[in-house]
Copies of this chain bind each other. A is one copy, B any other.
């Protein structure tokens, strides 16, 4: 079964029998009809449809090496420069479609599982069965176009608990039993973004260290369908609602975050990717070049989002007749400079790509980490530009219903722009409000800031991969060593 259509995506999501709670109540009926989910499901469906459109299919898919059917290009493990470019082009098409707002458009996890797959060999020595499981699972996802989410981060108390003692009493995620059918696992995960609007979930926590057990019960990775017995999804509140006039962003791009509880969930043997030895957590991430492959996808998203912000800022400025004022030129040019920067860094990562130990072609890490250091600081700056430009216009904005009510004529008369109708002007301000002052925008800012971990974590990643520390220090040392001494200059001094 090849790439799926939007319709197939919706059917599969709706068919799932998942235990999901919103504001304390179990969601009944198809998820695709629920106001908190219908927008994002619709948006993802469009992405899936796009893959199969005649004008895109060549650029967005490739023939599965196993089935020959066309599968998503973001599953392609890159072997050379051309593969990297193909991947980028595919991701770019999706990113432009969702304007960079989907942190979990399908290519994100497609890339993630592809990346882990490329390092499956290291599991051979651990347990050849696990290596086979990982490879088989990757192929399954690719050939069935599985929509995947991931659960990596545990709640604070679980992490703390694990650090103190990885033994029985911990509330850290752990395997509590192994039996014929698989392993039984218990624990909780924060922030599985789009957890409920995917088919399956990759679970891969950071293990707690243990001194007391030969087999570390907190060290494991696996993938399961979303509707296994024992799984519970608890949603945060939705920030928008169905009207895309009132909530132009959240009505389309609201990626629900969920808290996922595993309460004695049975994970089948063939879905386990490693177990018991905490060393493999770090190795799988590191040797698969997980962060680098992912960062290549994200850089593409950054570019699409920056373009959207730029377009919005200029539209808002024009609407207020200030588009050519010096401070606007300064702000717009600053965004253009960053747009050039993100494009250039992505390009540099591709041109600096090199082959990893398994023969795959991996983008250069440095430019991509630079990109992931700069965007989290630049994104809030763009948001601030919009806030300052939108001013009180981001606050006193009526809603779609107001236009359709008796108040409509007043709004049409008084809220129009210089050349625009009130309905269009307010639509623009509602967009600016969602991004600059609404809850959707608030989450986006947090999301971008902490996407790759906090600033210090990313700084260490950059510091550690840099190979010129010694060389540049030596250059300074040589520079100083070549200082002349005054004795050599005696002849000159006399003339001073």
Contact = CB atoms under 8 A, between A and B. Distances in A.
Interface of A: 21, 23-25, 29, 33-35, 38, 99, 153, 155-158, 160, 171, 188, 190-191, 232, 234, 236-237, 239, 241-246, 248, 251, 257-259, 261, 263, 307-308, 310-312, 314-315, 318, 320, 326, 329-330, 332-334, 336-338, 340-341, 343-345, 347-348, 351, 366-367, 369-370, 373-374, 380, 384, 387-388, 390-407, 410-411, 413-418, 424, 427-428, 431, 433, 436-439, 441-443, 445-447, 449-450, 454-456, 458-460, 462-463, 466, 468-469, 472-477, 479-480, 482-486, 489, 491-493, 495-496
Contacts of A320: 156
Number of copies: 4
A163 to B, nearest CB: 11
A301 to B, nearest CB: 16
A476 B311 contact: yes
A333 B463 contact: yes
Contacts of A458: 333
A341 B337 contact: no
A379 B256 CA distance: 29
Contacts of A191: 392, 395-396
Contacts of A25: 401, 405
A69 to B, nearest CB: 32
Residue among A245, A396, A454 with max Cβ neighbours from chain B (10 Å): A396
Nearest to A324: B463
A472 B491 CA distance: 49
A463 B407 contact: no
A394 B443 CA distance: 8
B347 A446 contact: no
A245 B485 contact: yes
